[in-house]
Amino acid sequence: MASSALLSGVKYSDTLSVIGISICTAAVCETISWLLTYRTASYKSLKSTIHKASKALETIKSTNLNSASSNLLKKSSKSKKIDRFETALIQSNRDLSLLKFKSGAAVALVLFVVFGLLNSLFAGKVVAKIPFVPIPLVQKMSHRGLIGDDMTDCSLPFFYLLCSISIRTNLQKLLGFSPPRAAAAGAGFFNTPDSKSS
């Protein structure tokens, strides 16, 4: 009985090691981000500006104009206000991205070092089992560097990527470091412009 518990502990030791290292790495990365970005007055000011601008934009967009006599004038003024707030929001998001660049570079350096270390420690070793056979595209990533035909075996790069993404995102939310919603919404490459009534 005791030997089976010991064997199961050894069986999952690589998996638990990678998860533990991912948690520690996420904590170190968030500490670096806090030291270089989140505690600065400029970050707090930009975050506040983005929050206020997005609230004002939502308020302006949600107001209904019912007066028929000055409807055209109000629509023109409303669209100018919307454009002004959207421009301010875009500029604030750009400034926030530039501010986070320094800490992003430091975090990337830490992640590369940790990944290189882990890759040398767990090269060619199965660190996790996937409970299903993934699609071929995912198989190439999850089975990279492993010998054998069992496609449910998971190599370090894929497992570490999944752990890092999920743990760091949830840690940011827990600590309150996640970007403002307006910044996250405006950060995409494929934003669709709002349809404006003429």
pLDDT in tens, 9-34: 456 788 899 999 999 999 999 999 99
Mapped onto helix, strand or coil, the DSSP state of residue 34 is helix
**146-150: which pairs have CB atoms within 8 A and are 24 or more residues apart?**
none
| Whole-number pLDDT of residue 6 | 39
Mapped onto helix, strand or coil, the DSSP state of residue 58 is helix
Contact between 99 and 179 (Cβ < 8 Å): no
Q: What is the DSSP letter of 37?
A: I
Q: Which tokens is 155 given?
A: 């190599």
| Whole-number pLDDT of residue 78 | 74
Domain range annotation of the chain: 12-62+73-185
- Angle, vertex CA 139, rays to CA 110 and CA 153, nearest 5: 80
pLDDT > 90 in the chain, percent: 20
Contact between 20 and 13 (Cβ < 8 Å): no
CB count, 10 Å around CB of 60?
Answer: 15
pLDDT in tens, 67-122: 444 565 566 777 777 888 888 888 888 888 888 898 899 999 999 999 999 989 88
